[in-house]
Amino acid sequence: MNYSKIIGIDLSLTSTGVCTYNEGVYNTFAIKTKLKGHLRYDHILSTIQEVLSDLEPEIAFIEGASYNSKSSSLDWIYGLSMLVRHNLCYRLGIPYKLIPPATLKKWATGKGNATKEKMIETCNENYGTSFTLKDNDMCDAYLLVRWGLNNAT
């Protein structure tokens, strides 16, 4: 399927990467916050909802949580993922696909366990972007959109 409006979201509690694709134009940014708990959720969700309302995407590609994660914040990360998928995508009628990190890494670099540095290097080389290590969340969001343009059915 050919999409003209897509959003890619790499969820994070401190720096959520977002990439919008609107008829050939890419825009990436990060939702950075030092807020904690429910205030953090409110900030991230309201920012994403604003983008969704403005863009009206045909589909969202969201990076899933890593199955190997061992963070003490996993319950908050999983909660954020469910809130985005249910409160935003489902309630706004936006279909979404959850993309496992290893799937995105394998598609982008050929290795399902690629490092952040390798993802950024490959993205910059293949697409002429200029992401840095501090932009890794935005790079992943950008690659989610690219993955969607190349693989979505």
> How many Å separate Cα 73 from the centre of its chain?
18
Ordered by start, the domain boundaries in the chain are 5-151
Q: Is 87 helix (H, G, I), strand (E, B) or coil?
A: helix
Amino acid identity, position 4:
S
State residue 13's pLDDT score. Answer: 92
- Whole-number Å distance between alpha carbons of 75 and 71: 9
What percent of the chain has pLDDT above 70? 95
The per-residue pLDDT of the chain, averaged, comes to: 93
SS3 content of the chain, % helix, strand, coil (to 5): 50, 20, 30
- Whole-number Å distance between alpha carbons of 48 and 131: 21
> If we measure between CA atoms, which residue out of 21, 151, 46 comes closest to residue 99?
151
- Check whether domain 5-151 has CATH 3.40.630.30, yes or no: no
* Token pair listed for 40: 């953090």
Q: What is the pLDDT of residues 94-149, one digit of tens each?
A: 999 999 999 999 999 999 999 999 999 999 999 999 999 999 999 999 999 999 99
Predicted TM-score of the model (pTM): 0.94
104 with 144: CB under 8 angstroms? yes
Rounded average pLDDT over 48-54:
95
Amino acid identity, position 66:
S
State residue 65's pLDDT score. Answer: 79
Q: Is 1 helix (H, G, I), strand (E, B) or coil?
A: coil
7 with 25: CB under 8 angstroms? no
State residue 63's pLDDT score. Answer: 96
